[in-house]
Amino acid sequence: MSRIKTRFDALKAEGRGALIPYLQAFDPDLETSLELLKAMPAAGADLIEIGVPFSDPSADGLTIQAAALRGLKAGATLTRVLEMVKRFREGDDATPIVLMGYLNPIDSYGPARFCADAAAAGVDGLIVVDLPPEEADLLEDDARANGLDIVRLVAPNTSDARLRQILPEASGFIYYVSITGITGTRTATEDELAAAMPRIRAVSDLPVAVGFGIRTPSQAAVASRTGDAAVVASALITTLAATLDDGRATDQTVPRVLGQLRELAEAVRG
């Protein structure tokens, strides 16, 4: 059984949803990023989404775009991000890790080699934002062969017919992009989330993680209760960015991000 399924099954038995913090790899440097990654489970992360820095992150708002640029400036590459996950796995074999990124770096790396190396490093799932289901054969067979889940993205404007077309091939969990737009902009209301879930659950039994626009503990609690997980990205990166001095980490960077994560986790746990 995959780490993702094991974790969601355990949380279902506990009667609560998951908190999935987002971390941009190498933001603002490898050492700080790895320190945050290692500390996130103890601060309340149930699963962790790691963003692979990319120069053209079309789904991301300004906050994550800036984080990606800091990561690239700090030397992030796909190879080095996998090495970072491997170092995390030296001390944590339980917390699921999902890589979020774009197709171009994976295609350049080589999909077959990437999937084998990602699995060996300890990655559990992939979110490839710009990989349409119709072209997923570029990655799916190699991902499945290496035990990697392919997480599908759906949005409020995804039709019922489209849900029936793409969700049967999903694995791990479904990522519900709760707004029509980029990350870090507006937040979906509780009524909007409640209206969306039945359409998805009618097609798939997989857990549904709600992301985009979740910034506060109360919003995370609603999202994890209405869906099965809340993904928090821009809010944590905004906090991180506010601690930097001329782009460099300070003694406030790690404690303030982890402090915010603990507040989010407390709300999700009720």
**pLDDT one-digit tens code per residue, 5-30:** 999 999 999 999 999 999 999 999 99
Q: Using the 8-state DSSP alphabet, how is residue 55 labeled?
A: S
Higher pLDDT, 118 or 56: 118
Could you report the per-residue pLDDT of 109-128, keeping only the tens digit for each?
999 999 999 999 999 999 99
CATH of the domain at 167: 3.20.20.70
| Assigned domain for 195 exists | yes
Catalytic annotation present for 169: no
C-alpha pair distances (Å), 118 with each of 13, 109, 220: 29, 11, 29
Q: Among the options 29, 60, 142, 149, which is catalytic?
A: 60
Question: Distance between CA 124 and CA 14 in Å, rounded?
Answer: 22
Backbone angles phi, psi at 118, to 5 degrees: -65, -45
49 is catalytic: yes
Q: Could you say which of 27, 29, 46, 49 is catalytic?
A: 49
Per-residue b/e over 1-27, b at no fewer than 16 CB within 10 Å?
eebbbebbeebeeeebbbbbbbbbbbb
**Full domain range(s) for residue 193:** 3-265
Note whether residue 224 is domain-resident. yes
Q: Angle CA(242)–CA(231)–CA(235) in degrees, nearest 5?
A: 15
Tens digits of residue pLDDT in 66-89: 999 999 999 999 999 999 999 999
Quick one: pLDDT at residue 186? 58
- Residues 205-239 have pLDDT tens digits of 999 999 988 999 999 999 999 999 999 999 999 99
Residue 59 resides in a domain = yes
- Examine residue 128 and state whether it is found in any structural domain, yes or no: yes
Asked if residue 18 belongs to a domain, the reply is: yes
Starting at the edge strand found earlier in the chain, the sheet holding 125-128 runs 149-150, 125-128, 97-101, 48-51, 18-24, 229-232, 208-211, 174-177, 152-154
How many other C-beta atoms are found inside a 10 Å radius of the C-beta of residue 252?
Answer: 15
The per-residue pLDDT for range 123-180, each reduced to its tens digit, is: 999 999 998 888 888 999 999 999 999 999 998 889 999 999 999 888 999 999 886 6
Reference 95, options 266, 265, 270, 235; nearest CA is: 265
Query: How would you label 208-221 residue by residue, b for 16+ Cβ within 10 Å and e otherwise?
Result: bbbbbbbbebebbb
User: Does the N-terminal peptide bond of residue 28 adopt cis geometry, omega within 30 degrees of 0?
Assistant: yes
Strand partners, 231: 20
Residue 210 lies in a domain: yes
Return the amino acid letter for 95: T
Q: Position of tokens 């609560």?
A: 16
Pull the structure tokens for residue 34. Answer: 């790895």
Which helix (H) or strand (E) element contains residue 152?
strand 152-154
270 within some domain: no
**Domain membership flag for residue 26:** yes
Structurally, how many domains does the chain consist of? 1
